[in-house]
A and B are shown apart, each in its own frame.
Chain A
Amino acid sequence: MKKLIGLSLVLIAILAFSFKKGGYEVGDIAMDFSLKNIDGEKVSLDSYEDAKGFMIIFTCNSCPYSVAYEDRIIALHEKYAAKGVPVIAINPNDDVKSPEDSFAKMIERAEEKGFPFPFVYDETQEITKAYGATNTPHVYVLNAERKVKYIGAIDNNTKSAENADKKYVEDAVDAVLNEKEVPEKKTKAIGCTIKWAS
């Protein structure tokens, strides 16, 4: 009996974590994508000819932690896009599970906030699965060859940018631009789960 219980626990654990498999680790080459931007055009990494890297940010309207970081995401793009490392924001959420994250609502929010970067919709959630994003906001910093250099949080203070004393993404992008080793390659942060289609 004990054995059976142990086995079923293991099975439950496997089931609980199975969906997390298959994401990228630092050092992997990330796949390109072609996703619809809020302006109706498709966006792919390939179309950025002179890019020195990318900040791929899985984020959405409905998560208060994502909203708390919106201004910081804008600031990241403003600081680094001209240097060749733009932000591409991807909404990973199913709009049936999370109506606030529909394409129409994405356009609305982007206009309200004046997003200077593409905000694309991963309608099939295939890119989100391939990258292995688990929550929002979740950042992947890539270099020019789409090699994953950093995975994780934007900084170490969700509440206030001023009080964050570790700017993980800035440090990673600076390292990519200077062809240095990224100091902290993987971090975690509290966030909202991705709303998967059922």
Chain B
Amino acid sequence: MLKKILTVFLFVSSFVSIEILAQGGELKIIKVPELERIMQESDTESLKVINFWATWCKPCIKELPYFVNAEEKFPKVDFIYMSIDFSENASKAEKFALKKGINPDGLYLIDDVDYNSWIDKVSPEWSGAIPATLIIKDGNKYFYEKEFHEGELEELILQTLN
């Protein structure tokens, strides 16, 4: 009996979570090849800012508004918000990100917990700690393992753009 209830519960809960994702559908859950593709796509006109964050990471949450503000100021810059929350927390991450005013176009979740297999692909300089931000310009990567403070990111974008 207990098993039956559990099965029904699991069925319903999986259904519900799919429903939430389908309704929102803003956050894209991706694997490593897709992350590599995003990093390789290089626009010579502008630059790309990829921020690695998670809902549980306090310094990440603190710096998120600076990214959101910078995105408004630099419409040509491509902002990617790469959540490393576990995939079962995808809808939580999505809700959180939308509440923070993140542009859903750049909202992703990387679903691969074999971190050692892909951290170096982002940058050999990355220890694995977050927040971490990768700025790509003309195929050149600039990596920052740090929490940005007000104004720092915008200044960096201006410097890198020129």
Task: Name A's B-contacting residues (CB within 8 A).
Answer: 1-2, 5, 8-9, 12-13, 16-17, 20, 63-64, 134-135, 152-153, 156-159, 166, 168, 187-194
Contact = CB atoms under 8 A, between A and B. Distances in A.
Given A9-B142, A13-B142, A159-B113, A190 B128 contact: yes
Nearest to B88: A159
Interface of B: 56-57, 59, 84, 86, 113-117, 119-120, 125-131, 142, 144-147, 156, 159-160, 162
B6 to A, nearest CB: 19
Contacts of B125: 17
Given A1-B162, A188-B126, 11 more contacts: A9-B142, A12-B144, A13-B144, A135-B127, A153-B115, A156-B114, A156-B115, A166-B114, A188-B128, A192-B129, A194-B129
B156 A12 contact: yes
Contacts of B160: 9
A158 B115 contact: yes
Nearest to B57: A192
A92 B126 CA distance: 19
A166 B115 CA distance: 12
B59 A189 contact: no
Contacts of B116: 152-153, 156, 166, 168, 187-189
A193 B130 CA distance: 6
B145 A190 contact: no
A20 B113 contact: no
A100 B117 CA distance: 31
The 5 closest A-B pairs by CB, nearest first: A135-B129, A134-B127, A187-B116, A193-B129, A188-B119
A13 to B, nearest CB: 7
B130 A8 contact: no
Contact of A157 (B57, B113, B120, B126): B113
Given A134-B129, A190-B84, A193-B59, A9 B113 contact: no
A116 B120 CA distance: 34
A133 to B, nearest CB: 9
Contact of B159 (A5, A63, A191): A5
B159 A9 contact: yes
A191 B129 CA distance: 5
B113 A191 contact: no
10 contacts: A13-B144, A17-B145, A63-B56, A134-B128, A156-B117, A157-B114, A158-B113, A159-B113, A188-B115, A193-B59
Nearest to A187: B116
A190 B159 contact: no
Nearest to A186: B116
Nearest to B119: A188
Given A8-B159, A157-B114, A159-B113, A190 B142 contact: no
B56 A189 contact: no
A137 B146 CA distance: 18
Point out which of B56, B127, B147 has the most chain A C-beta atoms below 10 A from its C-beta: B127
A188 B113 contact: no
A190 B54 CA distance: 11
B144 A16 contact: yes
Contacts of A188: 115-116, 119-120, 126-128
Contacts of A158: 113, 115
Most chain B C-beta atoms within 10 Å of own C-beta, residue among A16, A135, A157, A188: A188
